[in-house]
């Protein structure tokens, strides 16, 4: 079986690798992700790297040890993103692609395929040369496990628009359909509505939840979505709540309980997100299911044949689960004790009879492994390694730390030191703010942090204010509206590294997406702090970002996220190129849907105009993630050389 590991060498001796070899090893994309377990627990399907920049679906037979690629793609146009087992012999897969339709756009399709790669069938709606492309291929709302031939899908009826968020005619819209996985034929069970953005079903497959967006007469989406629920056996919709689409901390919903009598709600409790259950009988009765005293609850973990809810997910330092079932609590603790190094264990899924559990674990020093746990025999068998290219490579030690911001606020962060080092003293330092900004870093393996640690840097990943997961007060208004807080925290992280013994003449900053924005804006706020700046796919001009949104129907949502006022220009690094005292290296791809490549071009032009040192490396046919091992190797090697040269 490809990538099957008979044993894990958790403490193997590590040879020394040349810098270029290290860049290639850390640039190698995951060999396995989005792993799914078959109903009988005898097979797994997963998405793995294919050639240098593609992805393929692999199916592994756990009884025979054979693994084979089912299908895949070597380009960005359409690649597998996730596959699940409909039966022991048939998969349903979500494909995602980016293409140029006169403008760059992402699109999805859902297909079914046999586990041997035969009988591929498109389940999404068909288009023809008389129509514009349908961007959404739909989504799976219920696997209908008791029906061997059908799934319940959210489908887009007649959507042929060239702008994904425009409101269309009333006869077009989102519907729910029972879809035959072998023929692709659809039977509509919930009629279409042009303004429905989301449909949800209970465990029986009954459509009982929907989210409806508001639209203007000019065809643009307002910054508002309304949620409704149906009582059991009723066709009438009852309102739940209305929230703003731009509000990252707004109330949201995460499916029904096992009986369909309650809907899980993620809502505020004393400034943090907690998990509630709302009765669906029309009474509106709400009960608290779980709240963490320090961080937000992220969602509900579901496993098994009927995707039953078994826990609430959250992260303090690493991703964790508060299990509802005492058996899962006991099992998780036993597995953590059994594995070398006692890493945190995640129970991802189980076979339909509950006897086999799909397990995942990772640690800073042991990058991701999947296991199969046999409940009846209490045995644990290794399945697949996520980063086999790093076998034998020494990894750095990651530690959760906190530092004080300029106003005294305690900022959580992660410090990764080079292999064999126990202190940052005398080392070059690298501050690495995360993307988002409505995101956060958690403990565990990080290929970027570990690569730079292997280059000798003490790497700090600060969860600055504006990061998700820490409640309303910490989130502030978000990382764009409250950029002075966020960027101030990032820079205070650099000062903390200096206080830990990092050479102030060898302090640099690296960021991707919002992290790239933070890396650039940090130089505007404090031009003398960093000696070199690397920004990958950064936002550089907030006003230009608002202007870009006018070309699609989400303009009002982007406007609400960024806001309007003096902070927009003051928080745009491209408007302050003269302030830079550090050389800048940027990377960006022309098909980036998250951040348009013009953002980097604007920044490069502004820096050149101000007589500053800047280099922009542009890539073709890649999206925001630069999901290509050759390109990632170039990015890593060039970044390391640039940083070292800037620090002499």
What lies within 8 Å, CB to CB, of 284 at 6+ separation is 278
Q: How many CB atoms lie within 10 A of CB 532?
A: 24
Per residue in 144-162, pLDDT (tens digit) is 999 999 999 999 886 544 4
> Given 3-state DSSP classes, what are the helix, strand and coil percentages for the chain, each rounded to the nearest 5?
20, 35, 45
233 pLDDT higher than 60: yes
Per residue in 477-529, pLDDT (tens digit) is 999 999 999 999 999 999 999 999 999 999 999 999 999 999 999 999 999 99
Q: Label each residue of 318-387 as H, E or C.
A: CEEEEECCHHHHHHHHHHHHHCCCCCCEEEEEECCCCCEEEEEEEECCEEEEEEEEECCCCEEEEEEECC
Q: Label each residue of 118-163 as H, E or C.
A: CCCEECCCCCCCCCCCCCCCCEEEECCCCCCCEEEEEEEECCCCCC
Per-residue confidence (pLDDT) for residue 550, from 0 to 100: 65
For tokens 């696997």, name the residue: 143
Q: Which of 73-82, 220-229, 387-396 has the highest mean pLDDT?
A: 387-396
Distance between CA atoms of residues 349 and 352, nearest Å: 9
165 pLDDT higher than 50: no
Lowest mean pLDDT among 16-25, 338-347, 404-413, 542-551: 16-25
What phi-psi label fits residue 422: left (phi over 0), alpha (psi between -120 and 50 degrees) or beta?
Answer: alpha
**DSSP line for 227-261:** EEE--TT----EEEEEE-TT-TTS-EEEEE-TTSS
**Nearest CA-CA partner of 238 in 283, 301, 198:** 283
Per residue in 23-50, pLDDT (tens digit) is 999 999 999 999 999 999 999 999 999 9
**Nearest CA-CA partner of 296 in 327, 272, 263, 280:** 272
Distance between CA atoms of residues 449 and 443, nearest Å: 11
How many helices (H) does the chain have, and how many strands (E)? 11, 35
**Nearest CA-CA partner of 93 in 77, 76, 117:** 117
Distance between CA atoms of residues 61 and 68, nearest Å: 9
Contact call for residues 236 and 208 (beta carbons, < 8 A)? no
12 DSSP 8-state letter: -
557 pLDDT higher than 90: no
Distance between CA atoms of residues 17 and 448, nearest Å: 17
Per-residue confidence (pLDDT) for residue 6, from 0 to 100: 29
Distance between CA atoms of residues 175 and 124, nearest Å: 12
Q: What value does the mean pLDDT take over residues 629-639?
A: 97
Q: How many CB atoms lie within 10 A of CB 130?
A: 6
Q: How many CB atoms lie within 10 A of CB 572?
A: 25
């Amino acid at each position: 079986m490809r990538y099957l590991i008979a044993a894990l060498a958790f403490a193997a001796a590590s040879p020394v690798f040349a810098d270029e070899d290290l860049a290639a090893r850390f640039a190698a994309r995951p060999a396995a992700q989005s792993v799914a377990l078959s109903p009988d627990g005898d097979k797994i399907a997963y998405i793995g790297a294919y050639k240098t920049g593609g992805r393929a679906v692999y199916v592994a037979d756990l009884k025979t040890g054979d693994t084979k690629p089912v299908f895949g793609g070597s380009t960005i146009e359409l690649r597998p993103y996730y596959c699940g087992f409909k039966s022991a012999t048939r998969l349903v897969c979500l494909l995602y692609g980016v293409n140029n339709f006169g403008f760059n756009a992402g699109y999805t399709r859902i297909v079914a395929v046999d586990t041997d790669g035969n009988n591929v069938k498109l389940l999404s709606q068909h288009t023809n040369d008389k129509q514009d492309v349908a961007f959404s291929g739909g989504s799976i709302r219920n696997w209908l496990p008791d029906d061997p031939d059908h799934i319940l899908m959210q489908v887009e009826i007649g959507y042929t628009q060239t702008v994904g968020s425009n409101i269309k005619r009333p006869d077009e819209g989102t519907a729910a359909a029972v879809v035959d996985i072998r023929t692709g034929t659809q039977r509509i069970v919930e009629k279409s509505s042009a303004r429905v953005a989301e449909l949800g079903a209970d465990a029986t497959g009954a459509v009982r939840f929907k989210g409806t967006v508001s639209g203007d007469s000019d065809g643009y989406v307002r910054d508002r979505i309304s949620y409704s629920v149906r009582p059991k056996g009723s066709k009438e919709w009852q309102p739940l709540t209305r929230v703003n689409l731009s509000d990252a901390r707004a109330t949201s919903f995460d499916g029904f309980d096992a009986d369909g009598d309650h809907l899980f709600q993620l809502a505020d409790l004393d400034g943090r997100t907690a998990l509630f259950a709302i009765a669906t009988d029309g009474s509106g009765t709400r009960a608290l299911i779980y709240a963490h005293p320090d961080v937000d609850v992220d969602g509900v973990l579901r496993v098994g044949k009927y995707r039953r809810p078994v826990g609430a997910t959250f992260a303090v330092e690493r991703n964790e689960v508060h299990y509802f079932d005492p058996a899962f609590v006991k099992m998780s603790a036993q597995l953590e004790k059994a594995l070398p190094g006692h890493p945190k264990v995640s129970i991802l899924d189980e076979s339909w009879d509950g006897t086999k559990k799909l397990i995942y674990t990772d640690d800073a020093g042991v990058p991701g492994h999947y296991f199969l746990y046999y409940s009846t025999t209490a045995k644990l068998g290794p399945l697949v390694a996520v980063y086999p290219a790093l076998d034998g490579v020494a990894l750095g030690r990651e530690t959760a730390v906190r530092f004080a911001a300029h106003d005294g606020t305690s900022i959580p962060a992660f410090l990764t030191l080079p292999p064999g080092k126990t202190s940052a003293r005398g080392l070059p330092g690298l501050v690495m703010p995360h993307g988002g900004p409505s995101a956060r870093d958690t403990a565990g393996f990080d290929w970027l942090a570990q690569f730079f640690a292997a280059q000798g840097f003490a790497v700090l990943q600060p969860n600055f204010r504006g990061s998700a997961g820490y409640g309303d007060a910490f989130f502030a208004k978000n990382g764009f509206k409250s950029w002075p807080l966020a960027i101030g925290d990032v820079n205070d992280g650099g000062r903390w590294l200096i206080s830990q013994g990092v050479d102030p003449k060898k302090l640099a900053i690296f960021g991707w997406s919002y992290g790239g924005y933070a890396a650039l804006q940090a130089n505007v706020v404090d031009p003398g702090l960093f000696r070199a700046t690397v920004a990958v796919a950064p936002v550089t001009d907030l006003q230009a970002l608002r202007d870009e949104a006018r070309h699609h129907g989400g303009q009002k949502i982007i406007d609400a996220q960024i806001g309007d006022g003096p902070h927009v220009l003051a928080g745009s690094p491209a408007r302050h190129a003269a302030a830079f005292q550090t050389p800048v290296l940027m990377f960006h791809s022309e098909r980036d849907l998250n951040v348009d490549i013009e953002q980097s071009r604007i920044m490069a032009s502004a820096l050149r105009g101000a007589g500053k040192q800047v280099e922009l490396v542009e890539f073709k046919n890649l999206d925001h993630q630069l999901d290509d091992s050759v390109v990632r190797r170039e990015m890593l090697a060039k970044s390391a050389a640039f940083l070292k040269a800037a620090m002499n």
